[in-house]
Amino acid sequence: MTKINVKKFGGTSVGSFERIEAVADAIARAHHEGERQVLVLSAMAGETNRLYAMAANIDPVASARELDMLVTAGEQVSIALMAMALERRGIKARSLLGSQVKIRTNNQFGRASIELVETNGLIGLLDAGVVPVIAGFQGVDGEGNITTLGRGGSDTTAVAVAAALNAAECQIFTDVCGVFTTDPNIDPNAQKLDSISFEAMYEMARQGAKVLHPDSVACARRHGVVLRVLSSFEPGSGTLIRFDEPDHTVSGIVGIAVSRGQGLVSVSGVVDNPPAEVALFKTLADACVDTDLVAQQPSERMLSFSLAQAEVNKVLALIDTLTGAHALGAVNYETELAKVSLISTGKPVMAELAARVTELLAAQNIRVRLVSTAEIKLSVMIDEKDLQQAVRSLHRAFNLNKV
Ligand code: ADP
Ligand code: ASP
Ligand code: MG
């Protein structure tokens, strides 16, 4: 039996009628060559953002369930158009929502995890020569509610479907020709990698390299899925996410990931005040706020944490509710920050790396607000306006520029 390939096309790849037609042509060619293909699509570029913005007009703090119901509409449009484009080419195709495939998730609206992908229906379609065209990013919980997997989650749908079908490859088609040493839209000297280890790719994704959703990398690793990132605009072999050997680099740094739109909130009177610290983190957790880098400054008993800029107002309001009961001190915040993270092979001496990075940035008058290290990554929080300069100079300094 011919092996199955799962092919995922992101928003830009299906962002216009021309792009849908171009993808349909490529799928038709492969179909006529005998390939068994399952498609997973994102919404057309900009559509998911448009839907979130619509919700904000009605209720800026709309319930997560209703948001998921709304924003999954984008993928319903793209899959139907793609199925039509394939049928016009004489290829049998069937568009399917997550709930129709039965992509079962937990009930964490807005960031659900896939628990199960039902394969009987998909296999039946493939056996009948039909190309399934699945809506990415969405699933259904045990009670029949529609859920989403988090922004960029169509990658994860594709990998989960590939794992369930035991596919030969899961191919993520996007608007760049693979995984680069850093975002090629920030640094034109970024190099395309022929392959990258799962370990480094997962950390790159977690630290903001949008090219793959972090859950998709974790899921592929867990299930042994062969995962490749390719361009839907030009031919090429893309980047293979590798299971075997570690990454080889000159400087010990594999790549640099960036995360824009960050905020920093500092609350004094928290350190050495365990009830306040517990109450603060519990309140944030109950409101599903993801804190990222956390730092303590004993002198002012100040606790600082970074988070998505969009969450800052909500968090300030939450902290306000704790101030009286826990004798919290001054609360400060900053926005328009960006996180730059260096991902290493192996485990470098982080203090040395931190010294080198902060020295390099200081030499260019780039202020570092926060430094954080973990096993294979070092992150610095800087002003968003300095992002491009910081990335380009670090990329050069760590010998990542193309030669
Ligand atoms: P899609 O809509 O296809 O899912 P995304 O916008 O989610 O595409 O991801 C592709 C984008 O990821 C690229 O256009 C690029 O700007 C960005 N990106 C960030 N870091 C990297 C990286 N290290 N390698 C390649 N692309 C990256
Ligand atoms: N359409 C969704 C988003 O914009 C999912 C995806 O594109 O992967 O986040
Ligand atoms: Mg994406």
Phi/psi of residue 129, each to 5°? 75, 20
In the reported structure, the alpha carbon of residue 223 is separated from the centroid of ligand 1 by a whole-number distance in angstroms of 23
**Closest ligand to 10 CA?**
1
Determine the average pLDDT of the residues in 53-57.
Answer: 95
In the reported structure, the alpha carbon of residue 48 is separated from the centroid of ligand 2 by a whole-number distance in angstroms of 6
CATH of segment(s) 254-397: 3.30.2130.10
**Closest ligand to 150 CA?**
2
Determine the average pLDDT of the residues in 111-127.
Answer: 97
| Confidence at 272, pLDDT banded by 50, 70, 90 | confident
| Confidence at 18, pLDDT banded by 50, 70, 90 | very high
Q: What's the confidence (pLDDT) of residue 293?
A: 87
Q: What is the CA radius of gyration of the chain?
A: 22
Determine the average pLDDT of the residues in 304-315.
Answer: 92
Whether the predicted pLDDT of 1 surpasses 80: no
Domain boundaries, the chain: 4-175, 254-397
The three-state DSSP-derived secondary structure of 92-160 is: CEEEECHHHHCEEECCCCCCCCEEEECCHHHHHHHHCCCEEEEECCEEECCCCCEEECCCCCHHHHHHH
How many other C-beta atoms lie within 10 A of the C-beta of residue 179? 30
In the reported structure, the alpha carbon of residue 228 is separated from the centroid of ligand 1 by a whole-number distance in angstroms of 13
Whether the CB-CB separation of 268 and 328 falls below 8 Å is answered with: yes
Dihedral sign for Cα atoms in the order 149, 209, 291, 382:
negative
Give the residue from 208, 337, 210 showing the smallest Cα distance to 261: 337
For the stretch 254-264, pLDDT in tens is 999 999 999 99
Reading the block at residue 235, the tokens are 């031919």
Order of strands, sheet of 146-148, starting from the edge strand that comes earlier in the sequence? 114-117, 103-105, 138-140, 146-148
| Confidence at 288, pLDDT banded by 50, 70, 90 | confident
For the stretch 339-354, pLDDT in tens is 999 999 888 788 999 9
Kindly report the average pLDDT of the chain as a whole number.
95
Q: What's the confidence (pLDDT) of residue 153?
A: 98
**Ligand 2, atom nearest to 137 Cα:** 5
Determine the average pLDDT of the residues in 171-193.
Answer: 97
Whether the predicted pLDDT of 220 surpasses 80: yes
User: How far apart (Å, rounded) are the C-alpha atoms in residues 36 and 168?
Assistant: 10
Q: What's the confidence (pLDDT) of residue 402?
A: 87
Percent of the chain topping pLDDT 90: 83
Ligand 2 near 151 CB (within 6 A): yes
The protein residue with its alpha carbon nearest to ligand 2, atom 6, reads 152
Whether the predicted pLDDT of 289 surpasses 90: no
Ligand 1 near 11 CB (within 6 A): yes
For the stretch 154-167, pLDDT in tens is 999 999 999 999 99
In the reported structure, the alpha carbon of residue 319 is separated from the centroid of ligand 3 by a whole-number distance in angstroms of 33
Whether the CB-CB separation of 104 and 114 falls below 8 Å is answered with: yes
Q: What's the confidence (pLDDT) of residue 379?
A: 96
The protein residue with its alpha carbon nearest to ligand 1, atom 27, reads 183
Give the residue from 136, 138, 134 showing the smallest Cα distance to 112: 138
User: How far apart (Å, rounded) are the C-alpha atoms in residues 111 and 302?
Assistant: 30
360: Cα within 13 Å, side-chain hemisphere:
18
Whether the predicted pLDDT of 31 surpasses 90: yes
73-88 helix and 17-32 helix, angle to the nearest 10 degrees: 50
129 burial (CB, 10 Å; 0-12 / 13-18 / 19+) is: exposed
DSSP per residue over 278-311, as a string? HHHHHHHHHTT-----EEEEGGGTEEEEEEEGGG
Same fold, 4-175 and 254-397: no
For the stretch 60-81, pLDDT in tens is 889 999 999 999 999 999 999 9
Ligand 2 near 98 CB (within 6 A): no
Reading the block at residue 334, the tokens are 């900053």
**Ligand 2, atom nearest to 213 Cα:** 8
4-175 CATH choice from 3.40.50.2300, 3.40.50.300, 3.40.1160.10, 2.70.150.10: 3.40.1160.10
| Three-class secondary structure of residue 209 per DSSP | coil
| Confidence at 297, pLDDT banded by 50, 70, 90 | confident
Mutate to test the pocket of ligand 2, among 52, 151, 159, 161 (most ligand atoms within 8 A of CB): 151
